[in-house]
Structure 1
Amino acid sequence: MKPYEKLDPVNAAYKFLDKYYPGCQCAILAGSVVRGEATETSDLDIVIFDRTLPSSYRESLIEFNWRIEVFVHNLTSYRQYFESDCERARPSLPQMVVEGIVLKDDGIIVSIKQEARTLLEKGPEEWPAKTIEMKRYFITDILEDLIGSSQREEELFIANTLAELVSDFVLRTNRRWLGTSKWTVRALKSYDERFAKEFVEVFDVFYKTGDKSKIIFLVDKILEPYGGRLFEGFSLGKDG
């Protein structure tokens, strides 16, 4: 096989399974190749369930000209990852399990998929008022840094931080799952296509022209239902 030739992703996943995990009880192929979103740099995400393993682990390999990320669990460790993923509002493993193509199953995958689906449908825990207040304060701080900055190189990084804080705020106050990197905009689109378009556009205008006004307007609009910008009176860790 020439270096640039690749097996079909499902075929490659089966071969990988036969080579490395022939005794596992269950295996799932997930990720962009399953969703029909694969690019030239996409890898294979494979989730393995093996009752003989003492603990879970993650490993990256290159096999059959594919970059492969393997997430390996015994029949209880995956629940700890389900729980921790949901606590941080980024349900990576539950999402992979729900969307994945089953490569092998000894009769356990139906119940595991149902566990994952139930968690995804429930959504993340609601933010308490104190958390919303704290997030308003930090967003205000970064927004005013952006307003006051006159250094283009600093503004770029301030805007990046602000985009992350504000996108998380919108998603979590609406009890929606978060994303990172490319998954941020996908999470925003899943929440509200029109809002996601506006969000991307105001930051795109800033990156292209340096105009901050649209970002400022949007952030103020987002904060307004929760009391607007917050500085005076905020405290953290103070007794009494």
Structure 2
Amino acid sequence: MKRMRAPFAAKRFVDEYFPRCQAAVLAGSVVRGEETPTSDLDIVIFDNQFEVAYRETLIEHGWPIEVFVHSLTSYQTYFRSDAERARPSLPRMVAEGIVLKDTGILSTIKNEAAELLNAGPAPWSDQTLLTKRYMLTDALGDLIGTQNETDALFIANTLAEAIHEFVLRTNGQWIGASKWIVRALREYDEDLADRFVAAFHSFYKTGNREGIIELTDEVLAPYGGRLFEGYSVGK
């Protein structure tokens, strides 16, 4: 049986499970036009009946549904937490989400989300920048030095996340996780994202490490290059 279209399924879900909520939005891949056969519905609920925020996963109307339930104030705590970790999951969902229900409060919340996203994350401190340079240098050294191909696979995974974080944070951009790593890079610099993908694709396909080494050195260069000797913290 063909499942119900996403907005209709989401609206019905809200009507059935949260009939007294003040607002609800549908976000995620179905809103961005990136839906796949395994996509779920990401629904954010604002309901003053709840004092504590919670998250729940269900299957309704042929769809897996992830629902994020907030009071009319709890979302602000999550906005701040997301901003501090530089990964604005909830603000992005609220800002991009399509309205399923609104009793007049959503424009304010959406504006808060948009302002947070536009502001970008707080810049790294000088000490954090040194630490991130050191960690990236250390992981690169592990990749260059290891003769164990299994170890190299997982070192490369660490480098992929660290390179993306270093580039984006030093340029005042939000970071991602999992599939959002490359998406976040593309939002900032498509050419860099293409070279990032090519370097890791080459490594995973052929074992060639040169692309990763060159890319790591490139992103470190404006900040003094590799850092190992002389790095100190807490002394």
The normalised TM-score by structure 1 is 0.97
1:201 to 182, 194, 198: 198
Give the superposition deviation at 1:213.
Answer: 1.2
Partners of 1:228 and 1:86 lie apart in 2 by 28
- 2:179 maps to amino acid: K
Give the superposition deviation at 1:18.
Answer: 1.4
Structure-to-structure mapping, 1:18-33, within 5 angstroms: 18-33=15-30
* Structure 1, gaps ≥5 residues long: none
* Structure 2, gaps ≥5 residues long: none
Q: Aligned pair count?
A: 235
Structure-to-structure mapping, 1:73-92, within 5 angstroms: 73-92=70-89
Give the superposition deviation at 1:180.
Answer: 0.3
- 2:64 maps to amino acid: R
2:119 to 113, 118, 122: 122
- 2:99 maps to amino acid: V
Q: Please give the secondary structure, in 2, of the residue aligned with 1:103.
A: strand
Q: Please give the secondary structure, in 2, of the residue aligned with 1:233.
A: coil
- 1:175 maps to amino acid: G
Question: Percent of aligned pairs with the same residue?
Answer: 60
Cα RMSD (Å) of the superposition? 0.7
Q: Which residue of 2 aligns with 1:224?
A: 221
Q: Which residue of 1 aligns with 2:14?
A: 17
Partners of 2:212 and 2:139 lie apart in 1 by 12
Give the superposition deviation at 1:70.
Answer: 0.2
Structure-to-structure mapping, 1:95-106, within 5 angstroms: 95-106=92-103
Q: Which residue of 2 aligns with 1:53?
A: 50
The normalised TM-score by structure 2 is 0.99
Q: Which residue of 1 aligns with 2:138?
A: 141
- 1:27 maps to amino acid: A
Q: Please give the secondary structure, in 1, of the residue aligned with 2:75.
A: helix
Deviations 1:149-206 (A, max 9, x none): 1111110001000111111000000010010001110000000000000011011111
Q: Please give the secondary structure, in 2, of the residue aligned with 1:94.
A: helix
Q: Please give the secondary structure, in 2, of the residue aligned with 1:135.
A: helix
Q: Please give the secondary structure, in 2, of the residue aligned with 1:59.
A: strand
Partners of 1:14 and 1:210 lie apart in 2 by 48
Partners of 2:222 and 2:7 lie apart in 1 by 48
Partners of 2:138 and 2:225 lie apart in 1 by 12
- 1:196 maps to amino acid: A
Q: Please give the secondary structure, in 1, of the residue aligned with 2:187.
A: helix
Structure-to-structure mapping, 1:141-160, within 5 angstroms: 141-160=138-157
2:174 to 172, 177, 187: 177
Greater than 2 Å deviation, 4+ residue runs: none
Deviations 1:5-39 (A, max 9, x none): 31100110111111100000000011100111100
Deviations 1:124-152 (A, max 9, x none): 00111111100010111110000001111
Q: Which residue of 2 aligns with 1:40?
A: 37
